Amino acid sequence: MEGFSAKIAQIESTMSLYGREVVIACAIVVLGLILIKWINQGLKKAFRKLPISSAKGATVRNVIVVLMSAALLSFVAIHMGLEPRPVVRLLAILTLASIGILMVFRPLIPSLPFVVGNTVKAGDLLGKVEATTVLNTRLRTFDGTTVFVPNRIILNDVIVNYHFTPTRKIYLKINILYDQDLMKAKQIIETIMVEDPRVNPTPRPVVHVMSLNKGYVELSGRGWTDNLKRFVVTRELLEKTKHRFDQEGIILALPQMQVHYTSKNMPQSYMEG
Partner 1 sequence: MKSKQAYKIIDEGWVKKRTGYRVRFQQQVDAEMITDYFPDMDDGPWLSEVAIWRMAWRLAESRQSDPPDINAGDLINVTVVDHEDNPVKYYVTNQSEVFNQVSIKA
42 Cβ neighbours under 8 A, 6+ residues apart: none
Per CB under 8 A, the list member of 43, 125, 196, 253 interacting with partner 1 is: 196
201 Cβ neighbours under 8 A, 6+ residues apart: 194
Per CB under 8 A, the list member of 98, 239, 251, 266 interacting with partner 1 is: 239
The reply to whether 167 sits near partner 1 by the rule CB under 8 A is no
H helix or E strand, kind and range, residue 70: helix 54-79
The reply to whether 209 sits near partner 1 by the rule CB under 8 A is no
- Beta carbon of residue 240, minimum distance to partner 1 (angstroms, whole number): 5
The reply to whether 201 sits near partner 1 by the rule CB under 8 A is yes
- Beta carbon of residue 256, minimum distance to partner 1 (angstroms, whole number): 27
Segment 214 to 233, residues that bind partner 1, using CB under 8 A? 229, 232
- Beta carbon of residue 190, minimum distance to partner 1 (angstroms, whole number): 8
Stretch that binds partner 1, among 125-133, 141-149, 156-164, 196-204 (CB under 8 A): 196-204
The reply to whether 247 sits near partner 1 by the rule CB under 8 A is yes
- Beta carbon of residue 237, minimum distance to partner 1 (angstroms, whole number): 9
User: What phi and psi, each to the nearest 5 degrees, are found at residue 260?
Assistant: -110, 120
Per CB under 8 A, the list member of 10, 243, 251, 266 interacting with partner 1 is: 243
Question: Omega of the bond prior to 203 within 30 degrees of 0, cis?
Answer: yes
Residue type, 74: S
Beta strands in 142-263 (DSSP E): 146-150, 159-161, 167-176, 206-211, 217-226
DSSP string, 9-66: HHHHHHHHHHHHHHHHHHHHHHHHHHHHHHHHHHHHHHHHHTTS-HHHHHHHHHHHHH
- Beta carbon of residue 228, minimum distance to partner 1 (angstroms, whole number): 12
- Beta carbon of residue 247, minimum distance to partner 1 (angstroms, whole number): 5
Segment 176 to 195, residues that bind partner 1, using CB under 8 A? 191, 194-195
For partner 1, the closer of residues 197 and 255 by Cβ is 197
- Beta carbon of residue 68, minimum distance to partner 1 (angstroms, whole number): 40
The reply to whether 240 sits near partner 1 by the rule CB under 8 A is yes
Please, are residues 128 and 140 in contact by the beta-carbon 8 Å criterion? yes
The reply to whether 157 sits near partner 1 by the rule CB under 8 A is no
H helix or E strand, kind and range, residue 100: helix 84-105
Distance CA 19, CA 234 (A): 72
Three-class DSSP category at 134: coil
Can you give the binding site for partner 1, defined by CB under 8 A? Answer: 191, 194-198, 201, 204, 229, 232, 236, 239-240, 243-244, 247
